[in-house]
């Protein structure tokens, strides 16, 4: 395991030699995640060890976006976590994230921003950059994100597409997982594999900002499958037509969730950006 960790770090260091600096970091969670996801994985603890201070949590809701500030000593480098309605369609989450990014830009004028998105949060972050105006954003890091969709979304849609009146029985006997999937159907529609009329088909053909892109690809393996949620090719932004050849790819072993290796990869990227 130690040799594997060293190999990943050498790869990251070799890939990244960019003349950027990052003063503000924004962490975007994935499906069924929250701002706490970054704490539970240890990412925020590692950031703190390397001089990054939590500035607050942005919370989205029906009443709008609210900042829950985090008091602390001053630091040259700060980070925000966000709480988005992760079961909602991508564009609903994008609207709230764009509002948060606009507020961060006002509070930190002229300071470079780096976005990090895990899983569906990477698609939300990328869509926000395409639909919003965020010249302060210098880089996007996505971790295990379904940029070219996932068959898992299609499987969930099939499993929850039950006609009436059978749907009444399924709704009655279905467990919490089934009910969560039903609430999330609009999001899963956004994460199916690209074809004309889908969100990802539109998004992947749009002009993207001229910034740095980093694809953290999970579970490469001999078969090149990826993890149990998203195939490896879908996690790599180089396969997005509008971003072909523009993303640095970093292979990190493991399954779909955030892992301790992600902490080290993010810190190494930020070190080069700084």
Q: Is residue 193 part of a domain?
A: no
For the chain, give the mean pLDDT: 86
Q: Is residue 185 part of a domain?
A: no
The secondary structure of 181-227 as a DSSP string is HHHTHHHHHHTSPP-TTSHHHHHTTS---SSEEEEEEE--TTT--BS
Q: The domain that contains 23 carries what CATH number?
A: 3.40.50.1820
Q: Report the alpha-carbon distance of residue 200 to residue 229 in Å, rounded.
A: 17
Q: Is residue 104 part of a domain?
A: yes
Q: Report the alpha-carbon distance of residue 44 to residue 100 in Å, rounded.
A: 19
Q: Report the alpha-carbon distance of residue 179 to residue 115 in Å, rounded.
A: 31
Confidence of residue 163 (pLDDT cuts 50, 70, 90): low
- Segments forming the whole domain that contains residue 29: 2-147+213-269
More confident residue, 173 or 257: 257
pLDDT at 255: 87
Per the structure, the count of domains in the chain is: 1
pLDDT at 224 over 80: no
Cut 0.85: pTM above it: yes
pLDDT at 81 over 70: yes
């Amino acid at each position: 395991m130690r040799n594997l960790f060293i190999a990943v770090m050498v790869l990251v260091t070799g890939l990244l030699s960019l003349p950027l600096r990052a003063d503000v970091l924004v962490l975007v969670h994935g499906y069924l995640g929250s701002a706490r996801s970054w704490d539970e994985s240890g990412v925020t603890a590692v950031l703190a060890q390397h001089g990054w201070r939590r500035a607050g949590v942005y919370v989205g809701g029906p009443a709008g976006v609210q900042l829950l500030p985090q008091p602390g000593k001053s630091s040259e480098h700060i980070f925000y976590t966000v709480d988005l309605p992760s079961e909602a369609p991508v564009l609903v989450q994008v609207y709230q994230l764009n509002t948060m990014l606009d507020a961060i830009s006002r509070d930190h004028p002229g300071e470079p921003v780096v976005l990090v998105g895990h899983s569906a949060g990477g698609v939300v972050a990328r869509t926000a950059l395409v639909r919003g105006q965020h010249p302060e954003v210098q880089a996007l890091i996505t971790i295990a994100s379904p940029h070219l969709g996932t068959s898992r979304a299609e499987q969930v849609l099939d499993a929850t597409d039950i006609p009436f009146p059978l749907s009444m029985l399924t709704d009655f006997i279905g467990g919490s997982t089934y009910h969560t999937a039903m609430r999330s159907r609009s999001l899963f529609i956004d994460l199916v594999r690209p074809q004309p009329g889908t969100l990802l088909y539109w998004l992947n053909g749009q002009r993207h900002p001229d910034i740095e892109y980093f694809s953290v690809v999970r579970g490469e393996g001999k078969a090149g499958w990826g993890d149990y949620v998203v195939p490896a090719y879908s996690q790599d932004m180089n396969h997005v037509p509008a971003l072909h050849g523009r993303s640095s790819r970093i292979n990190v072993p493991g399954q779909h969730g955030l892992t301790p290796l992600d902490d080290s990869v993010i810190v190494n990227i930020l070190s080069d950006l700084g």
